[in-house]
């Protein structure tokens, strides 16, 4: 494979968020704060679910997997952006860029599949409550979670491997991070096969899961409307309110990224879309579930109470 560029053998240039040196320190602090909040928030969700036996249910099992995927999703891009700001370097190797694409797709796909599994879990809980424990048994939940991770890894390999066949010219500049559509724009070789692979994988791993989510919620809303009492309707809806909010946030930002890029491909719009897609959604997920869920808040309280004596002992 032939690659020609101006930055060294196989290097890309990440343009970053700004060239203004006065904003570099502010941007570094903002990105670092958002990254730490994201990682710590999702870690606390995982700790709460693991340590509290009351949360050993299918819903919280999938939630802990979602938190793990969100940590990986954000860690794929933000640490590299922080390092580039700190070292005043914009280069990323070809291998590093392909790795970033691979992990970005894997964790993004895993988010998508886990949201689908969580929608199915809510569908069974609301539409078939008497059979919920029999259907959503621990063995099935474990198999579904492992299956989603396996599908995410194997399903995104064609997208990643197809990049290796491309050759690139002297323009190697990428905005913000290594995103597959941006890499394809820089290729000098024919990208027809890559585009076919991208759209095929997108249909299988994005459109089908979204259709499953919409189908599940159509059945959920239909069941809720058949409940006679207002209190019963509110209780049923409250069990899936947090998940519905996370689904709306996830797909809203994803659609916003690609629709805004297609309609107004400006650097400002691209920057805003990238921030929403890669940082804001994973950061807000723990707050959405903890603030709207009493069981999570109680479990987090227990986690913090256990950590305080340990902190006092260390100091």
Q: What's the average model confidence in pLDDT over 252-271?
A: 58
Residue 145, pLDDT above cutoff 70: yes
Q: Which range has the top average pLDDT, 85-99, 227-241, 272-286?
A: 85-99
Residue 109, pLDDT above cutoff 80: yes
Tokens of 143: 């198999």
Residue 77, pLDDT above cutoff 60: yes
Residue 81, pLDDT above cutoff 90: no
pLDDT digits (tens, 9 = 90+) for 192-231: 888 888 888 888 888 899 899 999 999 998 888 888 877 7
In this prediction, residue 189 carries a pLDDT of: 81
In this prediction, residue 9 carries a pLDDT of: 40
Q: What's the average model confidence in pLDDT over 81-93?
A: 82
Q: Which of 156, 27, 144 is nearest to 103 (CA)?
A: 156
Residue 121, pLDDT above cutoff 90: yes
- 6 pLDDT band, cuts 50/70/90, is very low
- 1 pLDDT band, cuts 50/70/90, is very low
- 310 pLDDT band, cuts 50/70/90, is low
Residue 122, pLDDT above cutoff 80: yes
Residue 140, pLDDT above cutoff 90: yes
Residue 7, pLDDT above cutoff 60: no
d(CA 101, CA 59): 29
CATH number for domain 11-314, candidates 1.10.220.10, 3.40.50.12240, 1.10.287.3510, 1.20.1070.10? 1.20.1070.10
- Average pLDDT across the chain, whole number: 81
In this prediction, residue 258 carries a pLDDT of: 60
Residue 249, pLDDT above cutoff 50: yes
- 262 pLDDT band, cuts 50/70/90, is low
Domain residue ranges of the chain, discontinuous segments joined by + = 11-314
Residue 70, pLDDT above cutoff 70: yes
pLDDT digits (tens, 9 = 90+) for 9-36: 457 787 766 666 777 778 888 889 999 9
Q: Which of 45, 63, 50 is nearest to 117 (CA)?
A: 63
Answer for the pair 211, 120: CB distance below 8 angstroms, yes or no. no
Q: What's the average model confidence in pLDDT over 85-90?
A: 80
Q: What's the average model confidence in pLDDT over 46-66?
A: 90
In this prediction, residue 179 carries a pLDDT of: 79
């Amino acid at each position: 494979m032939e690659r020609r560029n101006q930055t060294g053998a196989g290097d890309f240039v990440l343009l970053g968020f700004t060239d203004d040196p006065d904003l570099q320190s502010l941007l570094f602090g903002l990105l670092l704060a958002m990254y730490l909040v994201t990682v710590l928030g999702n870690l606390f969700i995982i700790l709460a679910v693991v340590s509290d036996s009351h949360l050993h249910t299918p819903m919280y099992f999938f939630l802990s997997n979602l938190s793990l995927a969100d940590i990986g999703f954000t860690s794929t891009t933000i640490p590299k952006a922080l390092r580039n700001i700190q070292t005043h370097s914009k280069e990323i190797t070809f291998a590093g860029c392909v790795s970033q694409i691979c992990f970005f797709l894997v964790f993004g796909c895993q988010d998508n599949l886990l949201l689908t599994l969580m929608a199915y879990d809510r569908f069974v809980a609301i539409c078939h409550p008497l059979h919920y424990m029999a259907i959503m048994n621990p063995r099935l939940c474990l198999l579904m979670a492992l299956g989603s991770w396996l599908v995410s890894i194997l399903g995104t390999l064609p997208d990643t491997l197809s990049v290796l066949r491309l050759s690139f010219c002297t323009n190697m500049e990428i905005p913000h991070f290594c995103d597959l559509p941006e890499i394809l724009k820089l290729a000098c070789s024919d990208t027809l096969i890559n585009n076919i692979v991208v759209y095929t994988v997108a249909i299988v791993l994005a459109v089908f899961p979204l259709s499953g989510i919409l189908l599940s919620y159509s059945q959920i809303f239909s069941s809720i409307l058949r409940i006679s009492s207002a209190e019963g309707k509110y209780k049923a809806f409250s069990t899936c309110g947090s998940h519905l909010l996370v689904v709306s946030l996830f797909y809203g930002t994803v659609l916003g990224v690609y629709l805004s890029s297609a309609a107004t491909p400006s650097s400002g719009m691209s920057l805003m879309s990238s921030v929403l897609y890669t940082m804001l959604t994973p950061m807000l997920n723990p707050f959405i579930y903890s603030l709207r869920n009493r069981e999570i808040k109680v479990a987090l309280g227990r986690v913090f109470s256990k950590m305080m004596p340990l902190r006092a002992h260390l100091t």
